[in-house]
Amino acid sequence: MKVGVLGVGSIGKIIALRTAAAGHDVKVANSRDPKTVATDVLATGARAQWTKDVVKDIDVLILSIPFFRMPALKPLIADLPEEMVVIDTSNYYPGREGYYSEVAPRIGQ
């Protein structure tokens, strides 16, 4: 299976390592240059790519990025096939990302 992983922090790194070790073709990207992806993320065969290239020619896309970066992904994923499997491992942390009224429960209602 061809897997794209956007985000190689704590969660994305483990996903990339284990998915590549299981024999899948894995492409990873962070929010910077592919050369800045830590070599330990690539230890089992994942390949560092530019973000725009990770979403091309894949079967599954795994999102593992900070919640506040999600809006920037819209142009990248807008043209993905409708049947594309997208797995989102991101979590909303108001203390880190700030308050988003669209997501956070409304206090006092």
Q: Where are the alpha helices (DSSP H) in the chain?
A: 10-21, 51-54, 74-77, 94-97
pLDDT tens per residue across span 41-91: 999 999 999 999 999 999 999 999 988 788 888 898 888 998 999 999 987
In a domain, 49, yes or no: yes
* Number of domain units in the chain: 1
CA distances from 97 to 10, 14, 30, 66, 92 (A): 17, 23, 18, 8, 7
Handedness of CA 83, 63, 77, 51 (dihedral sign): negative
CATH number at residue 17: 3.40.50.720
Domain that holds residue 73: 2-97
Write down the pTM of the prediction. Answer: 0.86
For 66, residues 6+ apart whose C-beta sits below 8 A from its C-beta are 7, 90, 96, 97
